[in-house]
Amino acid sequence: MVLSANDKSNVKSVFGKIGGQADAYGAEALERMFATYPQTKTYFPHFDLAKGSAQVKGHGKKVAAALVEAANNIDDIAGALSKLSDLHAQKLRVDPVNFKLLGQCFLVVVAIHNPSVLTPEVHASLDKFLCAVGTVLTAKYR
């Protein structure tokens, strides 16, 4: 799966519109993921997952920062997320299936806050981008 010039431009434009809200989007995506896919909570036994949790907010910020970094370096996502990729392979070992689940929830959050931005074409580009990020993060698993 390859990101076309159009895809890259769509993704950059979405993140441009999200701007400073990215941190909140990250937190909300995590909140929705825990609610919708309870099995994802198994990776956070050490977290308080109650609504409004500071830990979830903090983690959402990290997730968002990584997505923003990937979007800003969209021509070389593997390079930009190389250290994160190592971390997921060696330490976190989150099963690859879960990246799709978080990706779905991130799309939902974008849809809710920017319904007019998420045209079918932009939806496609963003979905591809999120897949690409997941692929990079699991690339060194074996």
Give least dist CB 64 to another protein, A. Answer: 17
Which residue has 């995590």 as its token pair?
Answer: 30
Contact (CB, 8 A) for 30 and 64: no
Q: Is 108 in the site for another protein (CB under 8 A)?
A: yes
| Of 84, 118, 135, 140, the one binding another protein by CB under 8 A | 118
Stretch that binds another protein, among 9-17, 63-71, 99-107, 134-142 (CB under 8 A): 99-107
User: Binding string, 4-43, against another protein, x = CB under 8 A?
Assistant: ---------------------------xx--xxx------
Give least dist CB 105 to another protein, A. Answer: 8
Q: Is 127 in the site for another protein (CB under 8 A)?
A: yes
Q: Is 72 in the site for another protein (CB under 8 A)?
A: no
The dihedral of CA 120, 123, 127, 132: what is its sign?
Answer: positive
Q: Is 65 in the site for another protein (CB under 8 A)?
A: no
Q: Is 111 in the site for another protein (CB under 8 A)?
A: yes
Q: Which spans of this chain sit near another protein (rule: CB under 8 A)?
A: 31-32, 35-37, 104-105, 107-108, 111-113, 115, 118-121, 123-124, 127
